[in-house]
Amino acid sequence: MSARSRFGSTAAVAVTVWLSACTTGGDAVEMESAAGGAASADLESRARAIHEAVLTIDTHDDIPFDFATPEVDPLNADRQVNLQKMRAGGLDVGFFIVYVGQTERTPENVERAKADAMTKFEAIHRMTDEMYPDRIGLAYSADDAVRIHEEGKLVAAIGIENGYVIGRDLALLETYHDLGARYVTLAHNGNNDIADSAQPDEAFGDTPGENGGVSEFGGRVIAEMNRLGIMVDVSHISKEASLDAMRLSRAPVIASHSSVRALADHPRNMDDEQLRALRENGGVIQVVALDDFVRTPAAEREAAVDSLRAAIGFEGYSSMTDEQRAAWEAGVAAIDERFPGPDVSDFVDHIDYAVELIGIDHVGISSDFDGGGGIVGWEDASETFNVTLELVRRGYTEEEVAKLWGENTLRVWRAVEDVAAELRGR
């Protein structure tokens, strides 16, 4: 649903204004400018009222291993998401992510992955239970998220990025569920024993289609997630695996941070076949504000970023030292000056496309902040309003904005809870 389809040709409007100015003279130009300023102010006022009224949910915010310590204070740490920035930008709910990167599948590495997952679970609980319980609460259910928000607090929820953290131990899913995990991304960059990745890693001996999509073990993982009430996340997994997951899951799935492949041809994005399958499944794609997934970068920009990664010894966003992070941010700022990245308008183009293809009920919003996300105009949580402003500028109503920002996510979350209750006989 582009600006053109909602309002007609932007170029035609510009020509009409120009002709009017030519006919009526300078006074008309001044009147047009004043009218435009008033309209802009009215638009922003309406957008702010809508932004304040709706529940805003971002389904993907990464954290480092030293999160919720004196070194990385959730209140005001120099990161894209902290509590002050969430409040300033009107971001009500953040899914804080238990991310552990893929490694070679050895018994030792699997145990390390499990331990690393617990480190991040403990950090999120320190934030909500010990450090700032008066500012942010942990939601274990969709109703919790609404209740905590209505109490005037920010809301934290937990997602696991990479099912690798269970190894082959299904019982760990219940452990993680008890700790608050409410979605699991089946795989990350590299295949695991659950599913094939959209980006298999040759360094680990991966081959495309190793599992044929979702493995037999992965099918059991999905069944157990359905039983427990954990959302199945199909971001990061191969197209075949995502279609398998949607077929196997008895509950709707989410793509917690993916964009549209028709607009940016990246293996992490979803093509039209996947999007239509997602609609049939009842799920939601959380369109992600990560530059490479929003707009295919120029080859020169990619080369510059690769050189920067090599220069600072980049291994992952969550594992950066303060020195690496400072060097990374300075380097990216310099690259952005040479090769401007996508902005909020480019981002909302992906929302428009998905809404037109599969309907307003199946589209949501995510940032991937502190994990690579951020675009011009939505660089951190404090700028969250700018997304709403662009949606309203394009003609989305308050009801539609509410669905995109949170209601669709809550619908899937509740549907997953309902399936779990049914499967567990409650």
Q: Which residues pair with 58 in a beta bridge?
A: 94
Rg (CA), the chain: 22
User: How, if at all, do strands 57-62 and 284-288 pair?
Assistant: unpaired
Helix/strand/coil (H/E/C) assignment for every residue in 35-85: HHHHHHHHHHHHHHHHHHHCCCEEEEEECCCCECCCCECCCCCCCCCCHHH
pTM confidence score? 0.87
Contacts with 377 (C-beta within 8 Å, 6 or more apart), sequence order: 343, 344, 345, 383, 386, 390
Structure tokens at 278: 């997602």
| Identity of the amino acid at 370 | D
Q: Which residues pair with 285 in a beta bridge?
A: 255, 363
Q: Distance of CA 154 to CAs 86, 117, 132, 135, 139, Å?
A: 8, 23, 10, 6, 10
Provide the 10 A C-beta neighbour count for residue 216.
10
pLDDT at residue 188, rounded to an integer:
97
Residue 184 — φ and ψ, nearest 5°?
-130, 125
Q: Return d(Cα 194, Cα 163) in angstroms, integer.
A: 7
Structure tokens at 31: 């009147």
pLDDT at residue 26, rounded to an integer:
54
Q: Distance of CA 357 to CAs 60, 107, 284, Å?
A: 23, 44, 13
Question: How many CA atoms lie less than 13 Å away from 211 in the CB half-sphere?
Answer: 27
pLDDT at residue 186, rounded to an integer:
98
pLDDT by position in tens, the chain (length 426): 444 344 333 333 333 333 343 344 456 556 556 666 777 889 999 999 999 999 999 999 999 999 999 999 999 999 999 999 999 999 999 999 999 999 999 999 999 999 999 999 999 999 999 999 999 999 999 999 999 999 999 999 999 999 999 999 999 999 999 999 999 999 999 999 999 999 999 999 999 999 999 999 999 999 999 999 999 999 999 999 999 999 999 999 999 999 999 999 999 999 999 999 999 999 999 999 999 999 987 788 888 888 999 998 888 776 778 888 889 889 988 988 888 889 999 999 999 999 999 999 999 999 999 999 999 999 999 999 999 999 999 999 999 999 999 999 999 999 999 999 999 986
Q: Which residues pair with 195 in a beta bridge?
A: 214
pLDDT at residue 366, rounded to an integer:
98
